[in-house]
Structure 1
């Protein structure tokens, strides 16, 4: 059975991925909060990715890094500390996890890494300066690592639009905001965590064995179509 390490698997998209894979994979979750669910295939480590020592693990076939931030402010109101904070949770945490578990991944068969970007890295959007910048760094990391570790370890990323999670709660606070968000997207919808989880399941499977160094946009048409 494949062992999937999920950093941040207790909430949001990470939780949806965990729930989708639990019956078919051994899931190791590393997060600051205890998952609200239990399963015989789930192992949890309470850990702050930025400050704590990461646990030594015997086996890791796949690494999925889910922590992120949505820090939307006018550029003139963003402080250097805002940029540093976003960079640490989105980028430095991912680098720390990858460096820690790369030896495990190199020993595994059909190993892969999955990271997360954002549609704002491709589509210029007001107030997204910090998050778009750090997620653009993630996209560069994906392409560089994919080239460096081919053919042994595949590395890809998903770039979702707004997804109905607690992280995006400020953008979907009421019915009016939800309707406005739906209207902004040409496909007249935004994402559910389960949709993103399904894409994640595909990208870490052997069905995507020919895909590496790619950024997969789940954008409901917003970066591609004219609405």
Structure 2
């Protein structure tokens, strides 16, 4: 039987790959993206319904719920790369990053909590290797994603046994948000070599794990923060 899954950040490398993997397994997927043209492209390729919504805008959850109210699982694949030395960091930087990565994820979960409970559903969130491994100029994003990891374990405890909540912590992945860094080949090659597996991540690497966690294949897994990082968090 096909299930319904909701993917926020559906035009990114991870979100679009997750959508494709779920559709290829016979599931129904609803896409949420900020860019109408990019979201439509993914929708037409995969045959998915979609909603255009900006998670930084008030009321975005209601807009999505008007289009889809019943789901088995939610993947919040929204992210950012906010890199600045601390002396240049403002409170506004932190507020925007927290709104994008944490507060809006909370609003999504609250909006669908009763429905997920009814369906014995699953939530997949995203952190970063930088939340647990120190990197220069990562104060904004590492702090914010560490909060996402705290949210994961807190909600997994609060929602058990009805809703599972897990989190994936990737290292740098070939993606639109990483493009400003990766267009410098020397920099990209250096970052790749910093990983024990000697390459950057691809969207499908994290998406494959997300597919496992969002479906009943992982029905005895909750409260986990799982690294998909080429070994960088443990071996380098």
Same fold (TM over 0.5): yes
Contact 1:26 1:41 in 2 (8 A): no
Relative to the length of structure 1, the TM-score reads: 0.94
Paired residue secondary structure (2:32): strand
Deviates more, 1:128-137 or 1:200-209: 200-209
Relative to the length of structure 2, the TM-score reads: 0.91
Deviation sequence 1:74-115 (CA, Å, 0-9, x none): 010111111111010000110011111111101114x10000
Contact 1:50 1:93 in 2 (8 A): yes
Contact 1:22 1:39 in 2 (8 A): no
- RMSD (Å), alpha carbons: 1.4
In structure 2, distance between residues paired with 1:39 and 1:162: 26
| Residue segments in structure 2 that go unaligned for 5+ positions in a row | none
In structure 2, distance between residues paired with 1:151 and 1:64: 19
Q: CA deviation at 1:31?
A: 1.8
The residue number in structure 2 matching 1:19 is: 20
Contact 1:12 1:167 in 2 (8 A): no
In structure 2, distance between residues paired with 1:58 and 1:86: 27
Q: CA deviation at 1:164?
A: 0.3
Q: CA deviation at 1:217?
A: 0.6
Contact 1:8 1:31 in 2 (8 A): yes
Q: CA deviation at 1:39?
A: 5.4
The residue number in structure 1 matching 2:159 is: 149
In structure 2, distance between residues paired with 1:207 and 1:61: 13
Contact 2:13 2:202 in 1 (8 A): no
Aligned partner of 2:102 among 49, 66, 91: 91
In structure 1, distance between residues paired with 2:129 and 2:231: 10
Matches within 5 A, 1:118-129: 118-129=128-139
**Of Structure 1 and Structure 2, which has the larger fraction of its residues in helix?**
2
How many residues are paired up?
225
| Residue segments in structure 1 that go unaligned for 5+ positions in a row | none
Q: CA deviation at 1:171?
A: 2.0
Structure 2 vs 1, CA of residues 3 and 39 (structure 1 numbering), >3 Å: closer, same or farther?
farther
Deviates more, 1:197-206 or 1:137-146: 197-206
Deviation sequence 1:4-50 (CA, Å, 0-9, x none): 00111122211111122123211111221132131575111111123
